[in-house]
């Protein structure tokens, strides 16, 4: 599995657009690549399958924080190994996903999830992995959960704040709190 300090892989995937455009059948699809949103931080999070139970709670959780991520010059990319057509159908038929503000990327051939090393060995789907990628395409944070356990989008935002601070941040540090200041002896 790729980890901290590794370069995030190059990719080009089909996606369902976020926001109202993603619900219009004639304009719902786009291509997103590693070069999209150049110069921004990227929050790339994977879920195992559409039309499941834990996954929509996570998508909604990230969606609720989209503005906060944008305020930090970060974009959200949600990814699963389902096709863009399955993503669109899920958005159209799940009431909580109709307003989803970020794109849903389709890693149908497992190119990105395989390159990252996050495919579940038994199920062949992406694990619940989250990557924070800096504007230079370097992975700065990785978290991987079991298929049955949802993640905490607010924690991902907290870690982004800490990384962007460039400071030493203690346990449970939050934006606006004191940084650690080593004392010379």
Quickly list H helices, 26-145. Answer: 55-64, 66-71, 84-93, 111-116
Structure-token pair, residue 137 = 């395409």
Tell me which of 55, 125, 156, 159 is the catalytic residue. Answer: 55
Terminus-to-terminus CA distance in the chain, angstroms?
A: 39
Question: Is 55 one of the catalytic residues?
Answer: yes
Residue 15: closest CA among 99, 95, 107: 107
* Closest by Cα among 61, 86, 87, 90 to 76: 61
Known catalytic residues? 55
């Amino acid at each position: 599995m790729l980890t901290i300090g590794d370069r995030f892989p190059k990719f080009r995937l089909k996606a369902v657009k976020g926001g109202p455009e993603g619900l219009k059948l004639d304009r719902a699809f786009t291509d997103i690549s590693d070069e999209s949103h150049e110069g921004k931080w990227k929050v790339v999070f994977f879920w195992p399958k559409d039309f499941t139970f834990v996954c929509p709670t996570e998508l909604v959780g990230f969606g609720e924080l989209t503005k906060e991520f944008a305020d930090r010059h970060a974009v959200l990319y949600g990814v699963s190994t389902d096709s863009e057509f399955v993503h669109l159908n899920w958005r159209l038929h799940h009431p909580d996903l109709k307003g989803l503000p970020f794109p849903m990327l389709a890693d149908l051939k497992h190119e990105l999830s395989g390159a990252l090393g996050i495919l579940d060995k038994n199920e062949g789907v992406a694990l619940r992995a989250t990557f924070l990628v800096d504007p230079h395409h370097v992975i700065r944070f990785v978290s991987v959960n079991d298929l049955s356990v949802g993640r905490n989008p607010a924690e991902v935002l907290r870690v982004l704040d800490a990384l962007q601070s460039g400071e030493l941040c203690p346990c449970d540090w939050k934006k606006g709190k004191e940084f650690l200041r080593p004392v010379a002896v």
